Structure 1
Amino acid sequence: MTSIKALLIDDHLMLLRGLSLLFDTIDGIDIVATTTDGSQALTLAREHRVDIVITDAAMPDTDGLAVVTLCAPHIPTLVLTTFDDASLVDRLLTAGAAGYLLKDVSPDDLAEAIRAAVDGGLVLDPRIARHAWASKSNDREGELAVLTRTERVVAKLVSQGLNNQEIAANLHLAEGTVKNHVSALLRKLHARDRTMLALRLSKAFGQ
Protein backbone atom coordinates (compact mmCIF):
# COMPACT_ATOMS: atom_id res chain seq x y z
CA MET A 1 0.00 0.00 0.00
CA THR A 2 1.32 3.47 -0.91
CA SER A 3 1.99 5.69 2.09
CA ILE A 4 0.02 8.89 2.55
CA LYS A 5 2.24 11.95 2.22
CA ALA A 6 1.36 14.76 4.63
CA LEU A 7 2.37 18.36 5.29
CA LEU A 8 2.30 19.31 8.99
CA ILE A 9 1.81 22.94 10.09
CA ASP A 10 2.08 24.31 13.64
CA ASP A 11 3.50 27.64 14.78
CA HIS A 12 4.96 26.07 17.96
CA LEU A 13 8.23 24.40 16.94
CA MET A 14 8.28 21.99 19.90
CA LEU A 15 4.74 20.83 19.16
CA LEU A 16 5.64 20.47 15.50
CA ARG A 17 8.58 18.23 16.41
CA GLY A 18 6.49 16.26 18.89
CA LEU A 19 3.76 15.63 16.32
CA SER A 20 6.37 14.60 13.76
CA LEU A 21 7.71 12.03 16.22
CA LEU A 22 4.17 10.79 16.85
CA PHE A 23 3.66 10.22 13.13
CA ASP A 24 6.89 8.20 13.05
CA THR A 25 4.97 5.58 15.05
CA ILE A 26 2.05 5.46 12.58
CA ASP A 27 2.42 3.10 9.65
CA GLY A 28 1.37 4.31 6.21
CA ILE A 29 1.49 8.06 6.91
CA ASP A 30 4.69 9.98 6.18
CA ILE A 31 5.31 13.61 7.14
CA VAL A 32 7.23 14.81 4.09
CA ALA A 33 7.33 18.50 5.03
CA THR A 34 6.73 20.72 8.07
CA THR A 35 6.46 24.45 8.62
CA THR A 36 5.64 26.95 11.33
CA ASP A 37 4.41 29.42 8.70
CA GLY A 38 0.93 28.82 7.36
CA SER A 39 1.51 31.11 4.39
CA GLN A 40 3.88 28.46 2.97
CA ALA A 41 1.16 25.78 3.01
CA LEU A 42 0.15 25.65 -0.62
CA THR A 43 3.70 26.09 -1.94
CA LEU A 44 5.03 23.23 0.20
CA ALA A 45 2.01 21.05 -0.49
CA ARG A 46 2.54 21.35 -4.22
CA GLU A 47 6.33 21.02 -4.02
CA HIS A 48 6.10 17.77 -2.07
CA ARG A 49 2.92 16.56 -3.80
CA VAL A 50 1.24 15.81 -0.49
CA ASP A 51 -2.01 13.91 -0.12
CA ILE A 52 -3.16 15.93 2.89
CA VAL A 53 -2.37 19.08 4.86
CA ILE A 54 -2.60 18.91 8.66
CA THR A 55 -2.68 22.31 10.34
CA ASP A 56 -3.16 23.98 13.71
CA ALA A 57 -6.10 26.38 13.98
CA ALA A 58 -4.73 29.33 15.99
CA MET A 59 -1.56 30.74 14.44
CA PRO A 60 -0.28 34.30 13.94
CA ASP A 61 -0.71 35.93 10.55
CA THR A 62 -1.83 32.89 8.51
CA ASP A 63 -4.12 30.86 10.79
CA GLY A 64 -5.84 27.54 10.22
CA LEU A 65 -8.80 29.14 8.46
CA ALA A 66 -6.43 30.86 6.03
CA VAL A 67 -4.58 27.59 5.42
CA VAL A 68 -7.87 25.84 4.68
CA THR A 69 -8.87 28.63 2.30
CA LEU A 70 -5.52 28.29 0.50
CA CYS A 71 -5.36 24.52 0.29
CA ALA A 72 -8.80 22.95 0.60
CA PRO A 73 -9.93 23.42 -3.00
CA HIS A 74 -6.86 21.46 -4.11
CA ILE A 75 -5.79 19.24 -1.19
CA PRO A 76 -7.71 17.75 1.79
CA THR A 77 -6.92 19.90 4.83
CA LEU A 78 -7.38 18.57 8.36
CA VAL A 79 -7.35 20.90 11.38
CA LEU A 80 -5.64 19.51 14.50
CA THR A 81 -5.96 21.86 17.46
CA THR A 82 -6.58 22.35 21.18
CA PHE A 83 -9.56 24.67 20.63
CA ASP A 84 -13.04 23.18 21.14
CA ASP A 85 -14.94 26.07 19.55
CA ALA A 86 -18.23 25.41 17.73
CA SER A 87 -18.21 28.68 15.78
CA LEU A 88 -14.63 28.07 14.63
CA VAL A 89 -15.54 24.54 13.53
CA ASP A 90 -18.43 25.90 11.48
CA ARG A 91 -16.23 28.51 9.77
CA LEU A 92 -13.54 25.94 8.98
CA LEU A 93 -15.97 23.38 7.55
CA THR A 94 -17.73 26.05 5.52
CA ALA A 95 -14.32 27.04 4.11
CA GLY A 96 -13.79 23.44 3.02
CA ALA A 97 -11.83 21.74 5.80
CA ALA A 98 -11.79 17.94 5.59
CA GLY A 99 -12.12 17.67 9.35
CA TYR A 100 -11.42 19.02 12.82
CA LEU A 101 -9.71 17.04 15.60
CA LEU A 102 -8.47 17.87 19.08
CA LYS A 103 -4.76 17.33 19.69
CA ASP A 104 -5.30 14.75 22.43
CA VAL A 105 -6.84 12.36 19.87
CA SER A 106 -5.32 8.89 20.02
CA PRO A 107 -2.74 7.95 17.36
CA ASP A 108 -5.04 5.23 16.02
CA ASP A 109 -8.00 7.62 15.70
CA LEU A 110 -5.77 10.26 14.13
CA ALA A 111 -4.48 7.81 11.54
CA GLU A 112 -8.02 6.64 10.75
CA ALA A 113 -9.19 10.25 10.39
CA ILE A 114 -6.35 11.10 8.02
CA ARG A 115 -7.08 8.09 5.83
CA ALA A 116 -10.79 8.98 5.76
CA ALA A 117 -10.04 12.60 4.83
CA VAL A 118 -7.70 11.53 2.01
CA ASP A 119 -10.51 9.29 0.73
CA GLY A 120 -12.84 12.29 0.56
CA GLY A 121 -14.60 11.94 3.90
CA LEU A 122 -15.43 14.58 6.49
CA VAL A 123 -14.03 13.78 9.95
CA LEU A 124 -14.93 15.41 13.25
CA ASP A 125 -13.78 14.66 16.77
CA PRO A 126 -16.87 13.16 18.51
CA ARG A 127 -16.50 15.74 21.29
CA ILE A 128 -16.95 18.46 18.68
CA ALA A 129 -19.49 16.80 16.41
CA ARG A 130 -22.28 17.01 18.95
CA HIS A 131 -22.25 20.80 18.84
CA ALA A 132 -20.60 21.58 15.51
CA TRP A 133 -23.64 23.62 14.51
CA ALA A 134 -24.68 24.65 18.02
CA SER A 135 -24.43 28.30 17.02
CA LYS A 136 -27.23 27.63 14.50
CA SER A 137 -29.50 25.76 16.92
CA ASN A 138 -32.19 28.44 16.85
CA ASP A 139 -32.48 28.08 13.09
CA ARG A 140 -33.01 24.31 12.94
CA GLU A 141 -36.74 24.27 12.30
CA GLY A 142 -36.30 27.18 9.91
CA GLU A 143 -33.85 25.07 7.91
CA LEU A 144 -36.29 22.16 7.68
CA ALA A 145 -39.19 24.44 6.80
CA VAL A 146 -37.79 24.85 3.28
CA LEU A 147 -38.20 21.11 2.62
CA THR A 148 -41.18 19.44 0.99
CA ARG A 149 -42.98 16.66 2.89
CA THR A 150 -41.17 13.93 0.90
CA GLU A 151 -37.79 15.67 1.26
CA ARG A 152 -38.32 15.80 5.01
CA VAL A 153 -39.00 12.05 5.13
CA VAL A 154 -35.87 11.38 3.04
CA ALA A 155 -33.92 13.80 5.24
CA LYS A 156 -34.87 11.83 8.35
CA LEU A 157 -33.46 8.64 6.84
CA VAL A 158 -30.31 10.41 5.63
CA SER A 159 -29.77 11.64 9.20
CA GLN A 160 -29.88 8.00 10.35
CA GLY A 161 -27.05 7.09 7.99
CA LEU A 162 -29.04 5.16 5.35
CA ASN A 163 -27.71 5.15 1.79
CA ASN A 164 -29.84 5.84 -1.30
CA GLN A 165 -30.60 2.17 -1.94
CA GLU A 166 -31.76 1.63 1.65
CA ILE A 167 -33.90 4.79 1.59
CA ALA A 168 -35.48 3.69 -1.71
CA ALA A 169 -36.37 0.32 -0.19
CA ASN A 170 -37.83 1.93 2.93
CA LEU A 171 -40.00 4.40 1.01
CA HIS A 172 -40.76 2.20 -2.02
CA LEU A 173 -39.25 4.79 -4.33
CA ALA A 174 -36.90 4.46 -7.30
CA GLU A 175 -33.27 4.92 -6.33
CA GLY A 176 -32.97 7.70 -8.91
CA THR A 177 -35.85 9.55 -7.25
CA VAL A 178 -34.11 9.32 -3.88
CA LYS A 179 -30.90 10.60 -5.47
CA ASN A 180 -32.80 13.63 -6.76
CA HIS A 181 -34.25 14.31 -3.31
CA VAL A 182 -30.79 14.06 -1.70
CA SER A 183 -29.42 16.50 -4.30
CA ALA A 184 -32.23 18.90 -3.36
CA LEU A 185 -31.38 18.52 0.34
CA LEU A 186 -27.71 19.30 -0.32
CA ARG A 187 -28.70 22.41 -2.27
CA LYS A 188 -31.39 23.69 0.10
CA LEU A 189 -29.38 23.12 3.28
CA HIS A 190 -26.11 24.36 1.76
CA ALA A 191 -24.23 21.20 2.72
CA ARG A 192 -20.91 20.50 0.98
CA ASP A 193 -21.31 16.72 0.96
CA ARG A 194 -23.48 13.93 2.29
CA THR A 195 -21.53 13.53 5.54
CA MET A 196 -22.03 17.19 6.42
CA LEU A 197 -25.68 16.89 5.38
CA ALA A 198 -26.26 13.89 7.65
CA LEU A 199 -24.62 15.62 10.61
CA ARG A 200 -26.61 18.81 10.08
CA LEU A 201 -29.87 16.87 9.75
CA SER A 202 -29.09 14.83 12.85
CA LYS A 203 -28.81 18.08 14.82
CA ALA A 204 -31.94 19.48 13.19
CA PHE A 205 -33.97 16.42 14.18
CA GLY A 206 -32.55 16.55 17.71
CA GLN A 207 -30.86 13.15 17.48
Structure 2
Amino acid sequence: MTIRILLVDDQELVRQGLRFMLKPVSDFAVVGEADHGKSALTQIPLLKPDVVLMDIRMPIMDGVAATKQIRQQFPEIKVLVLTTFDDDEYVSRAIHYGASGYLLKDTPIAELTQTIQAVHRGYLQLGPGLAAKLNVQAKPISPPGWTELTEREQEIATLIAQGKNNREISETLFLAEKTVKNYVTKVLSQLGVRDRTQAALIVQQWINPAK
Protein backbone atom coordinates (compact mmCIF):
# COMPACT_ATOMS: atom_id res chain seq x y z
CA MET A 1 0.00 0.00 0.00
CA THR A 2 1.41 3.37 -1.04
CA ILE A 3 1.48 6.13 1.58
CA ARG A 4 0.67 9.48 -0.03
CA ILE A 5 2.67 12.34 1.52
CA LEU A 6 2.22 16.13 1.38
CA LEU A 7 5.27 18.27 2.30
CA VAL A 8 4.50 21.58 4.02
CA ASP A 9 7.46 23.90 4.72
CA ASP A 10 8.17 27.53 3.86
CA GLN A 11 11.74 26.70 2.80
CA GLU A 12 11.97 25.26 -0.70
CA LEU A 13 15.36 23.72 0.06
CA VAL A 14 13.87 21.73 2.94
CA ARG A 15 11.03 20.47 0.76
CA GLN A 16 13.46 19.45 -1.98
CA GLY A 17 15.62 17.63 0.56
CA LEU A 18 12.67 15.72 1.98
CA ARG A 19 11.43 14.79 -1.49
CA PHE A 20 14.91 13.55 -2.42
CA MET A 21 15.20 11.44 0.75
CA LEU A 22 11.73 9.94 0.52
CA LYS A 23 11.76 9.20 -3.23
CA PRO A 24 13.68 5.87 -2.95
CA VAL A 25 11.16 4.45 -0.44
CA SER A 26 9.02 2.14 -2.53
CA ASP A 27 5.79 2.51 -0.54
CA PHE A 28 5.97 6.33 -0.33
CA ALA A 29 4.66 8.82 -2.88
CA VAL A 30 5.21 12.56 -2.38
CA VAL A 31 2.05 13.91 -4.00
CA GLY A 32 2.61 17.62 -3.45
CA GLU A 33 4.22 20.55 -1.64
CA ALA A 34 3.02 23.70 0.09
CA ASP A 35 4.92 26.64 1.56
CA HIS A 36 2.37 27.47 4.29
CA GLY A 37 -0.64 25.95 5.99
CA LYS A 38 -3.30 27.77 4.00
CA SER A 39 -1.85 26.46 0.74
CA ALA A 40 -1.81 22.95 2.18
CA LEU A 41 -5.50 23.16 3.08
CA THR A 42 -6.46 24.16 -0.47
CA GLN A 43 -4.44 21.29 -1.97
CA ILE A 44 -5.56 18.47 0.32
CA PRO A 45 -8.97 17.83 -1.33
CA LEU A 46 -7.21 17.42 -4.69
CA LEU A 47 -4.09 15.53 -3.59
CA LYS A 48 -5.72 13.32 -0.93
CA PRO A 49 -2.56 12.70 1.14
CA ASP A 50 -2.45 10.08 3.88
CA VAL A 51 0.27 11.86 5.89
CA VAL A 52 1.23 15.55 6.01
CA LEU A 53 4.80 16.41 7.02
CA MET A 54 4.23 19.78 8.66
CA ASP A 55 6.68 22.55 9.51
CA ILE A 56 5.77 24.54 12.63
CA ARG A 57 6.88 28.12 11.94
CA MET A 58 5.59 29.43 8.60
CA PRO A 59 4.09 32.70 7.30
CA ILE A 60 0.38 33.21 6.48
CA MET A 61 -0.68 30.09 8.43
CA ASP A 62 1.70 28.27 10.75
CA GLY A 63 1.84 24.55 11.38
CA VAL A 64 -0.19 24.69 14.59
CA ALA A 65 -3.16 26.44 12.96
CA ALA A 66 -2.87 24.24 9.88
CA THR A 67 -2.83 21.07 11.98
CA LYS A 68 -5.99 22.18 13.78
CA GLN A 69 -7.79 22.86 10.50
CA ILE A 70 -6.64 19.65 8.84
CA ARG A 71 -7.70 17.48 11.75
CA GLN A 72 -11.10 19.21 11.88
CA GLN A 73 -11.79 19.05 8.15
CA PHE A 74 -9.95 15.84 7.23
CA PRO A 75 -9.77 13.67 10.37
CA GLU A 76 -8.54 10.65 8.42
CA ILE A 77 -5.29 12.44 7.50
CA LYS A 78 -2.30 12.10 9.84
CA VAL A 79 -0.05 15.08 10.60
CA LEU A 80 3.60 14.61 11.53
CA VAL A 81 5.30 17.79 12.70
CA LEU A 82 8.88 18.47 11.61
CA THR A 83 10.74 21.26 13.37
CA THR A 84 14.23 22.68 13.53
CA PHE A 85 13.78 23.46 17.19
CA ASP A 86 12.90 21.19 20.07
CA ASP A 87 10.12 23.68 20.80
CA ASP A 88 7.80 22.10 23.34
CA GLU A 89 5.29 24.96 23.38
CA TYR A 90 4.55 24.87 19.65
CA VAL A 91 4.75 21.10 19.44
CA SER A 92 2.48 20.65 22.47
CA ARG A 93 -0.15 22.82 20.82
CA ALA A 94 0.11 20.85 17.57
CA ILE A 95 -0.29 17.57 19.46
CA HIS A 96 -3.26 19.05 21.33
CA TYR A 97 -4.91 19.83 17.99
CA GLY A 98 -4.40 16.29 16.71
CA ALA A 99 -0.90 15.93 15.29
CA SER A 100 0.31 12.34 15.49
CA GLY A 101 3.76 13.35 16.71
CA TYR A 102 6.89 15.27 15.86
CA LEU A 103 10.49 14.86 14.77
CA LEU A 104 13.42 17.24 14.47
CA LYS A 105 14.41 18.03 10.89
CA ASP A 106 17.85 16.50 11.37
CA THR A 107 16.33 13.10 12.19
CA PRO A 108 18.07 10.30 10.23
CA ILE A 109 16.14 9.15 7.18
CA ALA A 110 15.70 5.62 8.54
CA GLU A 111 13.97 6.96 11.64
CA LEU A 112 11.87 9.38 9.60
CA THR A 113 10.74 6.56 7.33
CA GLN A 114 9.82 4.32 10.24
CA THR A 115 7.94 7.12 11.98
CA ILE A 116 5.90 7.98 8.88
CA GLN A 117 4.91 4.33 8.57
CA ALA A 118 4.02 4.15 12.26
CA VAL A 119 1.99 7.36 12.16
CA HIS A 120 0.14 6.09 9.09
CA ARG A 121 -0.78 3.00 11.09
CA GLY A 122 -2.25 5.16 13.82
CA TYR A 123 0.56 5.24 16.38
CA LEU A 124 1.49 8.36 18.36
CA GLN A 125 5.15 9.47 18.20
CA LEU A 126 6.19 11.82 21.01
CA GLY A 127 9.67 13.18 21.60
CA PRO A 128 11.55 12.76 24.89
CA GLY A 129 9.96 14.65 27.79
CA LEU A 130 6.95 15.87 25.83
CA ALA A 131 4.60 13.13 27.05
CA ALA A 132 5.11 14.17 30.67
CA LYS A 133 4.40 17.83 29.85
CA LEU A 134 1.22 16.84 28.06
CA ASN A 135 0.24 14.48 30.88
CA VAL A 136 0.13 11.69 28.32
CA GLN A 137 1.17 8.16 29.06
CA ALA A 138 3.21 7.52 25.94
CA LYS A 139 3.45 3.95 24.73
CA PRO A 140 6.37 2.60 22.74
CA ILE A 141 5.63 2.40 19.06
CA SER A 142 5.72 -1.15 17.83
CA PRO A 143 7.61 -1.63 14.57
CA PRO A 144 5.44 -1.39 11.43
CA GLY A 145 4.28 -4.92 10.61
CA TRP A 146 4.79 -6.21 14.16
CA THR A 147 1.12 -6.76 14.93
CA GLU A 148 0.75 -8.84 11.76
CA LEU A 149 3.37 -11.32 13.01
CA THR A 150 2.25 -14.44 14.82
CA GLU A 151 3.30 -14.98 18.42
CA ARG A 152 6.03 -17.37 17.26
CA GLU A 153 7.29 -14.86 14.65
CA GLN A 154 7.42 -12.12 17.28
CA GLU A 155 9.38 -14.48 19.52
CA ILE A 156 11.88 -15.12 16.73
CA ALA A 157 12.14 -11.39 15.95
CA THR A 158 12.98 -10.78 19.62
CA LEU A 159 15.70 -13.44 19.51
CA ILE A 160 17.11 -11.84 16.33
CA ALA A 161 17.25 -8.56 18.25
CA GLN A 162 19.25 -10.36 20.94
CA GLY A 163 21.85 -11.23 18.31
CA LYS A 164 21.10 -14.94 18.01
CA ASN A 165 21.77 -16.71 14.71
CA ASN A 166 19.48 -19.33 13.16
CA ARG A 167 21.21 -22.24 14.88
CA GLU A 168 20.96 -20.59 18.28
CA ILE A 169 17.30 -19.76 17.70
CA SER A 170 16.57 -23.34 16.66
CA GLU A 171 18.21 -24.62 19.85
CA THR A 172 16.35 -22.12 22.02
CA LEU A 173 12.93 -22.88 20.53
CA PHE A 174 13.55 -26.56 19.72
CA LEU A 175 12.82 -26.02 16.05
CA ALA A 176 14.56 -27.32 12.93
CA GLU A 177 17.06 -24.82 11.57
CA LYS A 178 15.30 -24.88 8.19
CA THR A 179 12.04 -23.97 9.93
CA VAL A 180 13.76 -21.06 11.67
CA LYS A 181 15.15 -19.86 8.34
CA ASN A 182 11.62 -19.77 6.91
CA TYR A 183 10.37 -17.86 9.92
CA VAL A 184 13.21 -15.34 9.64
CA THR A 185 12.38 -14.72 5.97
CA LYS A 186 8.76 -14.02 6.91
CA VAL A 187 9.79 -11.69 9.75
CA LEU A 188 12.10 -9.64 7.54
CA SER A 189 9.44 -9.31 4.87
CA GLN A 190 6.73 -8.30 7.33
CA LEU A 191 8.94 -5.70 9.02
CA GLY A 192 9.93 -4.31 5.62
CA VAL A 193 13.70 -4.71 6.07
CA ARG A 194 16.43 -6.23 3.91
CA ASP A 195 18.42 -8.16 6.50
CA ARG A 196 18.43 -9.36 10.09
CA THR A 197 20.71 -6.50 11.20
CA GLN A 198 18.07 -3.94 10.26
CA ALA A 199 15.40 -6.08 11.93
CA ALA A 200 17.48 -6.30 15.09
CA LEU A 201 17.94 -2.52 15.24
CA ILE A 202 14.24 -1.84 14.81
CA VAL A 203 13.16 -4.36 17.44
CA GLN A 204 15.90 -3.31 19.87
CA GLN A 205 14.78 0.34 19.66
CA TRP A 206 11.24 -0.72 20.50
CA ILE A 207 12.12 -3.09 23.33
CA ASN A 208 14.78 -0.79 24.83
CA PRO A 209 13.71 2.74 23.76
CA ALA A 210 16.03 4.44 26.25
CA LYS A 211 19.17 2.84 24.84
Measured against the shorter chain, the TM-score band is 0.5 to 0.7
* Paired residue type of 1:81: T
Aligned to 2:33: 34
> 1:1-207 to 2 correspondence within 5 Å?
2-73=1-72, 74=74, 75-124=77-126, 128-134=127-133
Compared CA separation, residues 159 and 96, structure 1 to 2 (3 A): closer
Residues 4-48 of structure 1, C-alpha deviations (whole Å, 9 max, x = no match): 001101101111111111111323111010111320212212211
CA distance in 1, matches of 2:20, 2:42: 23
* Alpha-carbon distance, 1:100 to partner: 0.7
CA contact (8 A) 1:87 1:133 kept: no
What TM-score, normalized to structure 2? Answer: 0.59
Compared CA separation, residues 10 and 159, structure 1 to 2 (3 A): closer
CA RMSD of aligned residues (A): 2.2
CA distance in 2, matches of 1:8, 1:29: 12
Residues 45-104 of structure 1, C-alpha deviations (whole Å, 9 max, x = no match): 221111111111111121110110111232111111111012222111111111111011
CA distance in 2, matches of 1:159, 1:7: 26
CA distance in 1, matches of 2:97, 2:44: 18
* Paired residue type of 1:23: L
* Paired residue type of 1:97: A
Q: Which portions of structure 1, spanning 4 or more consecutive aligned residues, are displaced by more than 4 angstroms?
A: 158-161
CA distance in 2, matches of 1:131, 1:32: 30
SS of the residue 2:33 aligns to:
strand
CA distance in 2, matches of 1:159, 1:56: 23
What TM-score, normalized to structure 1? Answer: 0.60
SS of the residue 2:53 aligns to:
strand
Extract unaligned runs of 5+ from structure 1: 144-157, 162-207
Residues 127-181 of structure 1, C-alpha deviations (whole Å, 9 max, x = no match): x3224444x7xxx7xx9xxxxxxxxxxxxxx7787xxxxxxxxxxxxxxxxxxxx
Aligned to 1:183: none
CA distance in 1, matches of 2:139, 2:59: 40
Extract unaligned runs of 5+ from structure 2: 141-211
Aligned to 1:185: none
Compared CA separation, residues 160 and 117, structure 1 to 2 (3 A): closer
SS of the residue 2:102 aligns to:
strand
Percent of residue pairs bearing the same amino acid type: 34
Compared CA separation, residues 132 and 86, structure 1 to 2 (3 A): farther
SS of the residue 1:129 aligns to:
coil
Number of residue pairs the alignment of both structures matches: 137
